[in-house]
Amino acid sequence: TSVIVDPYAKGILSRRRYGELGPAHLDYKSDEVLGLAPTWPQAAAFLPKPGEEDFDWEGDTPLELPMEDLVIYEMHVRGFTAHPSAAVQAPGTYLGLIEKLDYLKELGVNAIELLPVFEFNELEYYSPIPGSTTGEHRFNFWGYSTVNFFSPMARYSFAIASGADGAALQQEFKLLVREAHKRGIEVILDVVFNHTAEGNQLGPTLSFRGLDNRVYYMLAPLGEYYNYSGCGNTLNCNHPTVRKLIVDCLRYWVTEFHVDGFRFDLASILTRAHSAWHTSTPSPVAGAPPAALHSGGAIVDETGIMTDGAGVPTGTPLSDPPLVAAISEDPVLRETKMIAEAWDCDGLYQVGAFPHYGGRWSEWNGTYRDTVRQFLKGTEGPWAGNFASALCGSPNIYANTHPAETDWWANNAGRRWRGNRAPTASINFVSAHDGFSLADLVTYNDKHNNANGENNKDGENHNLSWNCGVEGITERLDVNRLRQRQMRNFQCALLLSHGVPMLQMGDEFGHSKAGNNNTYCHDSELNWVDWRQVADDSHGFARFTRQLIQFRHTHPELRRTSYVSDNDIQWHGEAAFKPDWTDSSRLVAYTLKKHAPDAGGLYVAFNSGHTPKVVELPHWHGRAWKVVIDTGKLAPYDILIPDAELAPEEAEQAQLAATMWTAGGYYSVLAWSTVVLESVPEAELAALRSRGRGASAAGAALARAGGPLTPTPQQQRAERASKRAASPGGLMDEIRASKAADMVQ
């Protein structure tokens, strides 16, 4: 007999601190001891106190930000503030995250996608990592192994660690959502409804298995577990009982915690036919409730294949999956954002044709990721054309109703869901938690996962990365400069593309995981944000990312709800209006018009070749081209938007210098670099030239008269650094300013 957790429990209490073992002196094999092991001590559901005062939401309401306006930040609650440099009161907790919300607001993200925060056991895999020289143990750090769907992860709570009860756990998570909303940031949860922590037949009995194994899990006739999740079991999602549990759970998180959306891990499992068993009819016991969850024999077809009770073989992908339909049509979830990871571990791939029910769902676009990586590292093939499509929101995937011959799902049961969608169907990303970080994408050709203790056999081998000439960390200046340029190129592709961009935590400043592309088991600096690196920003990459996000926010033409037409976009090559779509092409350039007539637009060019290109700029009557971004330049001249690191006059001087090219209708795009120019009225550029000439003449006159000279940009930057040094935290700012000044060309 097992003591199991109620699947509808609203709070699970067990160990109070993250990574803390349960009592080691107990005999967990004894019938008199509850729990399974020090890593699995007995958990209990907390009971709300009658009449307990509810949380004060202070009038909080859903933000309901338009999908096209989102910049999503995929993040880990503990990893964000666990590093000592975070200098927060409650590191690694919801409260610690609250303390750093202003950083996210300043960065410009307006949606955080939290890796799993449903109750899970971080000690599920706890054991010494073979070969570790520091005695490191293996953790379930990411949390993709749910114990209970209704309870916030208790050991992410400062209140629980301080001895509080389940009500305080709920209030701490509510506080996080409320404070995020105050800053204009939505909260999206990464949810795992494809499997649970109970694993296969060798796993622990914690909750669902003890209630009715045959209802909650997808099973074969002899009781074997289907493993579409790759984690030992598969939740029987489309069974009526399980379907109700999932919808009830989503409704609860929306109504009780005010969350704004969900990203569904391995969402294709939600479309598979469930397994079904005959209901048993035990002898009735007077006064006892009906045994509705007790199952009898398997329901099979004439060949002995398990079915869903309606003749559909278990596991078959359904054209009209009941669970996805119920979520899509639920009135409580009507304005909630739904994002599908539209594949599973058995090869079902539904990107472009996940059942979306009138566009209710967006999808993680894995094809976008692969295409951008291929083009920007200069791979031979059809990548120029594919990259151009990715920049436009992937209409070849989401607008086109005709799937490729190799797309099994979209040519069969998924045909009705293919095409006729908007750019916002595409969640664009270059990197995510399960793979190389952005910095590692340009530093390593191969994975380096030896720290996981699995002889480097785990993790993805197909990374589409390029180390820029040297594997791993190097002191070669040319390689490091190229890596910085490539990181900026990737950020430009992501944040200039139509669709919805998603950044991975740490990519905004260049966090490295030392070439490890599968850091699921590390509660260490591999997965923690190092806030010293954030503050230092020695290469100016964090500034570049921050300004690029703001550039996206201020340019509606980058946040479209419909696909571009020939009236909106023109493609170019080295010569204007003459693009090169051949397999050897390494240049993609285009002009994108603003929505309003005669309001100008942008010229964007990506050069992924090893030689510079001189591009001809298209002539727009009465307008001139002003340089905004050039990743071939060193910081802070890589993005000419004035801020604390780049004075307005410095930006103007750099833009004035660029007119040496643009005034003649050309611009030089260095190897492996990206440029963005903005169309402005000719009068604006003329005024810029006039100010430049005026400043030069005034300086010369003052010099002849022995008067004070206008400080040089280097002197101005040094003066700003001196002022910052006098304020709290000024020393780090002074160091950063000094390094930036040294890098000016």
The pLDDT tens digits for 439-472 are 999 999 999 999 999 999 999 999 999 999 999 9
Cβ atoms of 368 and 292 closer than 8 Å? no
Which residue is catalytic, options 265, 363, 557, 630? 265
Q: Residue 562 pLDDT more than 80? A: yes
pLDDT band at 737 (very low <50, low <70, confident <90, very high): very low
Mean pLDDT of the chain: 91
Q: Please report the pLDDT score of residue 740 as a whole number.
A: 38
Q: Please report the pLDDT score of residue 742 as a whole number.
A: 39
Q: Residue 732 pLDDT more than 90? A: no
Q: Residue 188 pLDDT more than 80? A: yes
Q: Please report the pLDDT score of residue 711 as a whole number.
A: 54
Q: Please report the pLDDT score of residue 581 as a whole number.
A: 98
The pLDDT tens digits for 47-66 are 877 777 689 999 999 999 99
Question: CA-based angle 159:165:167, to the nearest 5?
Answer: 90
pLDDT band at 46 (very low <50, low <70, confident <90, very high): confident
CA distances from 59 to 56, 66, 178, 181, 262 (A): 8, 21, 9, 11, 23
Q: Please report the pLDDT score of residue 699 as a whole number.
A: 53
pLDDT above 90 covers a percentage of the chain that reads: 83
Q: Please report the pLDDT score of residue 717 as a whole number.
A: 56
Amino acid at 644: A
The angle that helices 477-496 and 541-553 make with each other, rounded to 10 degrees, is 20
Judge whether 113 counts as a catalytic residue. Answer: no
pLDDT band at 296 (very low <50, low <70, confident <90, very high): confident
All residues at 6 or more sequence positions from 289 whose CB lies less than 8 Å from its CB, including other chains: none
pLDDT band at 278 (very low <50, low <70, confident <90, very high): confident
**Intra-chain end-to-end CA distance of the chain, in Å:** 73
| Distance separating alpha carbons of residues 90 and 74, to the nearest angstrom | 21
pLDDT band at 129 (very low <50, low <70, confident <90, very high): very high
Which residue is catalytic, options 113, 124, 308, 341? 341
Residues in the chain: 745
Model's pTM, two decimal places?
Answer: 0.92
| Distance separating alpha carbons of residues 512 and 506, to the nearest angstrom | 8
Instruction: Taking the CA atoms of 158, 164, 166 and 171 in sequence, report the sign of the dihedral they define.
Output: negative
Strands 277-279 and 146-152: unpaired
Question: CA-based angle 511:516:519, to the nearest 5?
Answer: 85
Question: CA-based angle 633:637:641, to the nearest 5?
Answer: 140
- The domain spans of the chain are 72-145+178-279+296-536, 565-696
**E strand or H helix at 436:** none
The pLDDT tens digits for 399-435 are 999 999 999 999 999 999 999 999 999 999 999 999 9
Specify the CATH class of 72-145+178-279+296-536 in words.
alpha beta
pLDDT band at 42 (very low <50, low <70, confident <90, very high): confident
Q: Residue 298 pLDDT more than 60? A: yes
Q: Residue 706 pLDDT more than 60? A: no
Q: What is the DSSP string of 588-629?
A: EEEEEE-SSTT--EEEEEEE-SSS-EEEEPPP-TTEEEEEEE
Between 383 and 709, where is the model more confident? 383
Q: Please report the pLDDT score of residue 31 as a whole number.
A: 82
Judge whether 32 counts as a catalytic residue. Answer: no
**E strand or H helix at 532:** helix 531-536
Q: Round the CA-based radius of gyration of the chain to a whole number and report it.
A: 28
Structure tokens given for 681: 């009225």
Structure tokens given for 57: 């939401």
pLDDT band at 733 (very low <50, low <70, confident <90, very high): very low
Q: Residue 595 pLDDT more than 70? A: yes
Looking at 3.40.50.170, 2.60.40.1180, 2.30.38.10, 3.40.50.1220, the CATH number of the domain 565-696 comes to 2.60.40.1180
Q: In 3-state terms, what secondary structure has residue 675?
A: strand
Q: Please report the pLDDT score of residue 716 as a whole number.
A: 54
Cβ atoms of 592 and 497 closer than 8 Å? no
Q: In 3-state terms, what secondary structure has residue 315?
A: coil
Between 185 and 699, where is the model more confident? 185
